[in-house]
Every structure is written in C-alpha cells, then in structure tokens.
Structure 1
C-alpha cells in the first residue's frame, strides 16, 4: 500500500472510532438510572433506543448511498452523532437522554452501513477483509475507552456528562478530516434502487447464508457479554461488581483478536482463518459449558472473545465480494442483521428458564456457533 492509499485510508479507519461510541450506552444507562432514580425497565430503554434503528434504517441507508454516495452518507451519519453528543449538554433529563441515544443509534446505523463499503473505494478486494478487521480493531478501542473516559470525567470534573463534549469534538474532527479527503467515488452500477430490489438479494443463497451468519455472530457477541457475569455469579458465587470483570476480559481479548486478525488476514486466506476461528471458539464454549472454576471460566470467555473477534468482518467482506455491483444494498442487509443482538438474548432467557441455569443460555450461543461452523465449512475454499 503506497503513501497516497494510506492517506485515503486513515480518515476512513478513524471513522470506526466514532462507530464505537454506540457502546457508551452501556455505561451511560447505569449513570442515567442513578441520576434519575429509574427502574430497571426504564433504564433499559436507553440501549433499546440504540439497537432498534439497526432494523429500521439499515436498508434505507443502503438505498440512500446509491443516490448521494458512500462518503456523503458517512458525513450524514457524523451529523446525527454530533447532535446526539450535544443534546445532554443543552438540557439533561430522561426524555433528552432517550432522544440523544435515538439520534446516536440512527447515526451509528447509517455509519455502519456506509463506512464498511467505503473502504472498498480505497483498498483492493484482496485487502478488504484485513482492512475491515483493522476497522473493527479501532472500534474495539473506542468501545474499551468509553467507560474509562466516563470514569475520568467523573473523577476530574465531578460529572460523567463531560465525556459528551469530548466525543462531540472527536466526531467533528473525524467529519472535517473525511470531508477534506478526496476519497474516490464508487463506480456506477449500484442498481439496487428499491426495498424490493434490496430484499430480493436474499434470494441469492450465498447472501442469505451470510446475512444469517451476521445475525448469529452478533448474537454470540451480545450473548457472551450478557451471560459471562451470570455464569460467574451462578457457579462461583461472585458479586456482580466482581463478575462484571468477566465482560471486560471478553472485550479485552476481542480487541487483541481484532488486532492480530488484521495482520494475519492481510497475508492468509480468510476462509481457512474463519474455519479455524470457529473451531477454536466452539471448543472453548464446550469447556465453558462444564467449567466450575473461576480461572477456567475466564479462560473459556477469553478464548471465545479472541477467536470470534474477526468473524463479523470476514462475513461482511464475503458478502461485499459476492455481489460487488450491489454492494450498497448488500451492506444495508448485513447491518440489519445486527438486530440479532436483540433476538438471540430472548431465546437465551427462555432456555435459561427451561433448564434452570445459565447452561441453557450457553447452549443457545453454542447453536449460533454451530451455524457459523457450517458457514465456515461452506466458504473455506471460496475465499
């Protein structure tokens, strides 16, 4: 990759840092609940305000890209994110918080749909998977930093809300940087021009397999974040404050996995890497099903986080390469699959109640991984 390509790539990769801002809703919901004395149900509306838009806006964003281009669509997403960061500073109440996180969710949906294919404007098809993985690494750093920034704002300025002007400033820098970068426009021929055309892409068996793969890998990710503390509390008698470190451990190894994956995928076939990753994750999950000791549970969680770190990027790149002339529509469909993060935990809850322990939830995650294993076997020789 020459110097000019790197100059084009950097502002796009920096956009993935903005993408990670959606994960700040996790720590924010705890602060908002505390500030306004909310019930658990009321506090849980905040994450819902972020998640629901992935289902509602993903496909329309794919169609919007056909009209105004990928770069301009990314810039629109930045505007929504910037406004979301300003609202709590203007006035701070529960309604404003819901509105702010709705704007953040809309902006993040638009960003995820448009930023991923924008990479294909500046990198070759062979480098697309590793570039997407590098973007996920940048996003993971942002997600990891969010709670730390909130804690620092509270410690230094006495108010967690002071993280919002920092996020707004970073968003503005990203917007200006991309605006001033002459990213090549995508070639003509993005002939997905209606909802019917877009959903019609699911008639392609490969696209359908990959869409379901996105649903299940996001389900694995959200499921692991949800079930890890519960397993530690159930089997090891930990308090929630201590068991919560299991989730942090998962994120830490996921970040490391994305970094190493970006290096490996730049040199080796992504199909085989996908297969090895899922085999490893499934083996670790089997250990997790029966583990009773704290160190063994932490080990299983760490390996799963590390092994699954690159699966989303691999599936997404496979989808873009399957129908490259309809990449905008494909991107919208794939990001709509992120709604799997809202669907799979429901089945985990039902399974837990049926079995009477978190083993039920873990089995649901295992079923998701089995599907991903079939995907990996199907695509191991194609990419």
Structure 2
C-alpha cells in the first residue's frame, strides 16, 4: 500500500456503497415481475424469464469478468462495472417506449452484466482487505449495506412502478387492439423515470470511485499467479466446488422467494392486499436480511462461521414449512421472516469457499459468481411448479435448496488437508 492509498477502513467504506447500489437494483426485479406479468399478460413461468435473464448474465459473464479483473485490477473493474450497469438501466427507456418485453430482458442482461463485474471484483476485494480471520465478518457488514439497498429500493421505487391498478384479462379483452397497445404503453412507461435516475446515479458513482485512491491488492489477482492455475484446478479445491453449488442453491432460493412474494402475500387467502401494498412488504423480507447481517457480523466474531451457516439454514427450512402449512398472517409473516436467516448465507459461503486460495482467489471468485445463475434457474423451476400446483406448495423447491446449505455448513465446507495450503504462502503477501 503506497502513501497515496486510502487506509483499509476508508477503502471498505467506499466499496460498501457499491454493495448498497447493486442490492437495490437486484431487488427491483421483484417489483418488475408482477408489473410486467400484468402488462404483457404472462403466466408465472414466462414472467420468471426476468430473473432467468438477469441471473443468467452472472453465468455467462463471470469468466469474462475475471479476465477484466486480471487485466485492470479490482478498482478499475468496479468503475467499468458501474458504467455497464448504467447503460443497462438507460435501456429501460426505449424498452418501455415501444413497449417490448424482449427489449426489457436485453436491458436487464446488460444491467446484470455490469453487476456481475462488480460482484467478481468487490466481493473478494472486501474479503482480502485486512485480516483473513475477519473476512466473514467484513463481508457480512458490506452485505448488510447491500440489504439496506434491497430494503429501500422496493419501498421507495416500487410504488412508483406499481402506481396504477392493472386491468384483468376480461377488461383487456373488451378493448380494441389499439386500446390494448395504448394501455400497455402507458403501464410500461412507469419504469422509465426510475431507471433513468438510476442510470445517472450509477455514472456519478463510477466517477466518484475512479477518483478515490483505494488499495489495488494486485497480489490477489490471477495475473499474480505464477503457476497459472486453470479453472479446473481451482474448482478441484473441494470446499470451493461445493461452495459454488451452495451459492447456486442459496441465491436461487432467496431470489425465488422474493420473486413470488408480491403475488403470494396479495392472494386472498394470505394477505388479501393489492400489488402496490404488497410491494411495500418486500422491505420486511430484505430488511430482515439487513438486520441479520449486522447481527451476523458480530456473531461471526464469536462463533464458528460454518456452524452458524448451518443453523440459519435450518431456521429458513422451519419457516418455509410454516408458510406452506398455514394461511393468513401467519403464512405471510413466516415467509417474510426468512430474510432474517438468509442474511449471513451469501457472504459466509463466499468467504469460507475462497479460504486459503491466495492468487487463485480471483478465479475462485468468478466461479462462485457463476453460481449466482441459481437465481435464473430455481425461480423458473418454481414458476413452472406454481403454474401446476400453486405458489404455496411450490415452496418445496427452496426447502431443498436450504437443506443442501445445512450440509455444506456442517460438512461440505471443510478444507481438506493439503488443499489450499500450497497457495497460502503466496496469499500471505496480500495481507501486509
């Protein structure tokens, strides 16, 4: 670290603003799903293409993102990621003006590609920014700011997007083709202003980060790997391999639950409220994750991260069982409470999965971020099941996801003797 670089604490403060931003952008998908589902008269499986497109970008763009990190470093990768995300947000304007569902999906893909680069660069950067023993706690703290974004964005922006009541199938059928087109254009236009403001804010944030002198930590990028380990060799680390699967099922479960919340809690037998009101309840789901991460940051300084991960996954399973077996306010608050126990899962899985990997870290990070594609696959699977059996029974899919996380925390995350140790000496140079 040179004299001109920020301290680790100051750099941590700067980078956590990025976590806040991408958290909010991701949670807005939960608002877009019921809105665009109604505007374009789609079923659940079709509307879940929003999440499939968004999180599919993580799978397709993670490896290219790791190359960008190796080429330009963590800081410049964060700046580039913000600019790409801004371009995606700006594409919402023409998508709404047409309006075109495929163009909405294209805009989401570009937006998610920018966030993928942010994930690949910012997550390991936070983990490496200080004492390795404190990495789970640091990343949980940063993810708490991520959850603040996921809490505030749907609460503040959601009602703007869902400001008018959508018409039912019978009401639309009574309209002429021209009237239907005008109606859809009017409804789709409600996303234009929010996303244009978001695009402007992302560009301003890119300029701000570019001006800041944060430590480069170049020693932990793949360009500093003298052995040039392949992705297959990196994935051969047992705790990383199962960590990628754990990220896949965790993100899939979290996103799937959030994607169905508005439709689920607005149902007559659950919350019996309209979509605009239901969007405000998303704040409890994502707010629970925020509170849990602040609490988790403290707990992880005292308790074993792996055991705490397994315990939180057990609690999520119990709450899903409750929401599947009850009705009314009990079912509603049970599913909303899952956010509290989702809290530590992503940062804890991430940090224990990259443990002792040294210069393999950026490759490992890109593989873990690829696992976020679970957010594309699992919500779609639950959407297909929901179309057949209803939303409430379909929560069996997240139950299976959390069951794997219980196993990962208890046994699958162990670092076997000899694995990771050959790069520990190289990794120690990062933590001066």
Aligned to 2:211: 180
Corresponding pairs, count: 375
User: Which structure: larger Rg?
Assistant: 2
Cα shift at 1:281:
1.9
Q: Does 1:344 align with 2:351?
A: no
Q: Which residue of 2 aligns with 1:190?
A: 222
| Residue number among 287, 309, 318 corresponding to 1:283 in the alignment | 318
- 2:407 partner SS: helix
Cα distance in 2 between the residues matched to 1:193 and 1:77? 27
Residue 68 of structure 1, aligned match among 53, 57, 72 = 72
User: Corresponding residue for 1:82?
Assistant: 86
How far apart in 2 are the matches of 1:136 and 1:93?
Answer: 36
Preserved contact between residue 86 and residue 199 of structure 2 (Cα < 8 Å)? yes
Q: Paired residue for 2:27?
A: 23
1:69-114 deviation line (CA, Å, top 9, x unaligned): 1211111111102223334457833356444323211111111111
| 1:1-383 superposed matches below 5 A | 4-20=7-23, 21-28=25-32, 38-40=40-42, 46-88=50-92, 92-94=97-99, 97-147=104-154, 148-149=156-157, 151=159, 160-186=191-217, 187=219, 190=222, 197-228=230-261, 232=265, 233=267, 235-236=269-270, 238=272, 241=275, 247-292=282-327, 294-349=328-383, 351=385, 356-358=389-391, 360-378=393-411
Per-residue deviation, 1:267: 4.3
Shift in alpha-carbon separation, 1:357–1:229, aligned structure 2, 3 A: same
Query: Over residues 159-189 of structure 1, what are the superposed CA-to-partner deviations in whole Å (9 max), with x where a residue is unaligned?
Result: 6533234323322332223212222222167
| C-alpha distance in structure 1 between counterparts of 2:365 and 2:244, whole Å | 10
The 8 Å contact of residues 59 and 198 in structure 1, kept in 2 or not, is answered as no
| TM-score, scaled relative to structure 2 | 0.75
Q: Do the aligned partners of 1:70 and 1:117 also contact (CA within 8 Å) in 2? A: no
Q: CA-to-partner distance for each residue in 1:303-342, whole Å, 9 max, x for gaps?
A: 3211121101100111221423211111111111111122
The structure carrying a bigger helix percent of its residues is 1
Q: Which has the higher contact order (CA 8 A, sep 6+)?
A: 2
Give the SS at the match of 1:94: coil
The answer to whether the Cα contact below 8 Å between 1:5 and 1:123 also exists between their aligned partners in 2 is yes
Unaligned runs of 5+ in 1: none
Q: 1:239 to 1:169 in 2, by over 3 A?
A: closer
TM-score normalized by structure 1? 0.84
Contact 2:242 2:413 in 1 (8 A): no
| C-alpha contact (below 8 Å) 1:55/1:336 kept by paired residues | yes
- Name the SS of the counterpart of 1:373 in structure 2: helix
